Structure 1
Amino acid sequence: MTTRYHQLDSLRGIAALTVVFNHYSQIAPMEWMRHAPWRLFTEGHSAVILFFTLSGFALTLQITGESKPGFAEFVVKRVCRIYIPYLIAVLAAYAAYGALYRSGLSWTGPWVNQAWHADIDRHDLLSHIYFLLPFDNSTLDPVLWSLIYEMRISLIFPIIVVAVFAMPLWLSVALSAALSLAVSGYYHHASRTLMDASLQGEWIPTIHYISMFVLGTLIARYRDAISSKLGTYSSRSLFGALMICIAVYGLVGAVNPHLVSNDVLRSFADDWVILPAVTCILVLAISLKPFAAVLAARPLVFLGKISFSLYLLHCIVLLGVLHYFGEAYQRMSLVVAAVLILPVSIAGYYAVEKPSIRLGRYLTRRKQRDRATLGVRSMASKYLFDKGK
């Protein structure tokens, strides 16, 4: 049976909540949230890197666990897990846009008016439905760009796991770093930032984001050795390291603009600085018992359970409510959206996520039975062979 680290679910939930706060901070009356110390709770891009790393960790445990899925089985489950909720979110966003959008909102600032604008049409809807092909995914539901890369990498992830497990640690790290550097060189030559390319769903950033999944795979592979090594340090030292990493994770976006002037280089440098911080946070969530105990609190675990729906749906709620109220009741609309986001996310989890997961299990049930039958036959053959010796 695959080990379940509930504290990592909590990390995912906290990260999803910071994405919500990040999008609130993009609205003109809430821009104060971008400044320290509040910035620590609104670093949405760091949260996406954490999502990718957590996915690498969790999927590696799934692939290498006792009930190892076949390649086709793994892909079917990932398509059901990611694409079906994604598709429902796209359709919901388009329906909300069609029903509520009238014109731009003068008081909200550029982010809201870039996400929902007058030129969104059926072509944009079809582009979103095609999903994996490059398209402008900064509209309708602006968080969807990360799911494109999540799905692309998921389709080849078993191959990545096999490759990482076949390599020594240093080679996996060196190869991932080299590929990320190559991508940064390409976009430096093209004078385009990583986020600009990602919001267009371009293929090349996939290579860069693979490094985050590889990091998760490495943590999963060496988790016992890491925990054993960290056990030789005092809790006070580990807690200090955790605080430093959380500060780096949350404040890098505020500090790096003062250190790196080139926008393209900074878009990659942010990720290169965040990745070690994410590594530290992840391994300490596994190894530092007081930290794991805090994360195991039931409200945080539940937040982790609904984190995917929270991530997928909060922009639709926020943008829909803002356009419903329009130019009137500006601050009230922000409060109403905040009140609705959590119930809508809970409803999305039970109405869409769980059925999608069950569908994935149903579609692969025959393969699971065949694999279980083959396992029983192998055990029986081994028993008869040993008995006949």
Structure 2
Amino acid sequence: MQSLNIQYNPRIDQLRWLAATVVFLFHFHLEYRGLSGAGLSGPWSALITEGHTGVGLFFTLSGFLFMQIALVQKQIVYRDFVRNRVLRIFPLFLTIFLVATSIGRDKFQPQDLLYLFATNLGLAPTSGTVVTGAAWTISVEFLFYMVFPFLARFAMERGLRYLANLLVLMAFFKVAAYTVNDNSTLMYFSTFVGRFDQFLIGMAAAMLLQGRRARLQEFAPLLLAAASALVVCTTALMHTVAPFGGAPKSSFWIGWSMLESAGWAFFIVAWVSFQRRLPGAIERALCHGGKVSFSFYLLHMGVLHVLATKVGLVRPTGHAGLDAAIMLAASYGITWLLATISYNTIEEPFLRMRRSYGARQAPAVAPAA
């Protein structure tokens, strides 16, 4: 996705595609099992059965990317930064919010408009149906946007120790909240207490990458293999010890977001450092997937639910695995097409209104993010 603030890196778009696809697979699996289809089981399929981890990748990637921009620009102009974030997020997010309030019109209260700023809390209209349920993450993301310019400034002034101190404070808040919250798993999953450390870890990863790029590029294939194994193993561990949807209160979740984000931060650094190009068609397809990933993410649950309720379980071949693959490919393709239409119609016109928010001008080359 094009930006005015940093040189374009297709790897970032590819990571966005990956995050959106992992979340899609998670929700497809839930809908498929809800139709009495044969589901996956066992820890080594946890990247799908616990595919909500794609949200952790999104959050970590946001911290990483914006810290990279801050390191290039040296100073972020707060007003212009927030303006760009509003233009990036609000048009589609408001559309989804209005869909949610339309669906729940009989229960709507005027004060529900305040949920525009807190869709991850309470009885937000977007949480009333799976069609708009994915929107909870946007409020958490926007909270990070509101404070990021300050965090970036202080981190550049004081170094990694500043972010480390914030992570210590976040760990304390997690422990304290655990002692008084009876549904701590959901709290850690969807609130500031549970998720803000993932943005900080992404920022730290960007700072660690700075000045070490050449060395990391040398060992990128090995690092990528190790990072992939770490992500698979940590997700398998969560599935084994404390799966989401299991116990409402588990001490494992106190440290889960940091463990999850550390794995994804390692993967981000390895993938960004990986210099080998993918085949042209694949490279273009994944970059397009990253470009439309916001629309893909916000619309995919609606697509899956409509297909589940109006089409149901399809068995064109009679072979369970092949039938599941056909349903997956069809629903993914429909979501991809709808996301492309949404991006071109709702997102892209507003994206053209953005401007540089750095204190110095960005390089005059095709930029991204």
Aligned partner of 1:101 in structure 2 is none
**TM-score, length basis structure 1:** 0.74
Aligned partner of residue 251 in structure 2, secondary structure: helix
Write out aligned runs for 1:182-261 (5 A): 182-196=173-187, 205-230=191-216, 233=219, 237-257=222-242
Q: Give the CA deviation at 1:11.
A: 1.1
Q: Which residue of 2 aligns with 1:355?
A: 349
Q: 1:356 to 1:35 in 2, by over 3 A?
A: farther
- Offset at residue 304 of structure 1 (A): 0.8
Separation (CA, whole Å) in 1 of partners of 2:37 and 2:100 = 23
Residue matched to 1:343: 337
- Separation of aligned partners in 2, 1:53 and 1:19: 15
Q: Deviation digits for residues 130-163 of structure 1, max 9, x if unmatched? A: 4114432432311111111101111111011112
SS at match of 1:190: coil
Whichever structure has more helix as a proportion of its residues is: 1
Distance 1:127 1:34 in 2: 39
Q: CA RMSD in A?
A: 3.4
In 2, Cα distance between equivalents of 1:172 and 1:145: 25
**Could you say which residue in structure 2 is the equivalent of 1:139?**
128
CA distance in structure 2 between the aligned counterparts of 1:237 and 1:62, rounded to whole angstroms: 27
> Which structure has the larger Rg?
1
Structure with the bigger RCO (C-alpha within 8 Å, sep 6+) is: 2
CA contact (8 A) 1:16 1:307 kept: yes
Q: Residue 229 and residue 254 in structure 1: after superposition, are their counterparts in 2 closer, same or farther (change >3 A)?
A: same
For structure 1, the 5+ residue unaligned runs are 99-118, 200-204, 373-389
Decide whether the 8 Å contact of 1:93 with 1:316 is kept in 2: no
Q: 2:285 aligns with which of 287, 294, 299?
A: 299
Structure 2 unaligned blocks of 5 or more: 316-323, 362-369
Shift of the alpha carbon at 1:236? 6.0
Match of 1:23 among 22, 27, 31: 27
Cα distance in structure 2, aligned partners of 1:128 and 1:219: 36
What is the match of residue 169 of structure 2? 178
Amino acid at match of 2:14: S
- State the identity as a percent: 20
How far does the alpha carbon of each residue in 1:207-249 deviate from its partner, in whole angstroms, 9 at most, with x for none?
A: 443322222222223323333443564x664244133223135
Please give the secondary structure, in 1, of the residue aligned with 2:123.
Answer: coil
Aligned to 1:169: 160
d(CA) in 1 for partners of 2:114, 2:161? 39
Q: Aligned partners of 2:47, 2:211: CA distance in 1, in Å?
A: 31
Q: Secondary structure at the match of 2:212?
A: helix
CA 231–78 in structure 1, closer or farther in 2 if over 3 Å, else same: closer
User: 1:45 matched to which residue of 2?
Assistant: 52
1:34, distance to aligned residue in structure 2 (A): 5.1
Distance 1:247 1:197 in 2: 21
Q: Is the 8 A contact 1:7 1:285 kept in 2?
A: yes
* Of 186-195 and 33-42, the range deviating more from structure 2: 33-42
Tell me the residue number matched to 2:6.
2
Provide the rounded CA distance (Å) in 2 between the counterparts of 1:267 and 1:320.
32
Residue identity matched to 2:138 = L
Cα gap change, 1:275 to 1:189, in 2 (>3 Å):
same
Structure 1 pair 285–226 and aligned structure 2 pair: CA distance change class (3 A): same
Shift of 1:183: 2.5
Q: Which amino acid aligns with 2:239?
A: A
Q: In structure 2, how many angstroms separate the alpha carbons of the residues matched to 1:356 and 1:332?
A: 39
CA distance in 2, matches of 1:257, 1:264: 7
- AA of the residue aligned to 1:155: M
Q: 1:155 and 1:175, CA in 2 relative to 1: closer, same or farther beyond 3 A? A: closer
1:317 aligns with 2:303: yes
Residue identity opposite 1:254 in structure 2: H
The one-letter code sitting in structure 2 at the alignment partner of 1:10 is Q
Cα 1:240/1:197, change in 2 over 3 Å:
closer
Say if 2:62 is the partner of 1:76. Answer: no
Counterpart of 2:258 in structure 1 is 272
Aligned-partner Cα distance in 1 for 2:340–2:267 = 27
Quote the residue 1:157 is aligned against.
148
The answer to whether the 8 A contact 1:18-1:47 is kept is: yes
Give the length in aligned residue pairs: 333
1:342–1:240 distance in 2 versus 1, CA, 3 Å:
closer
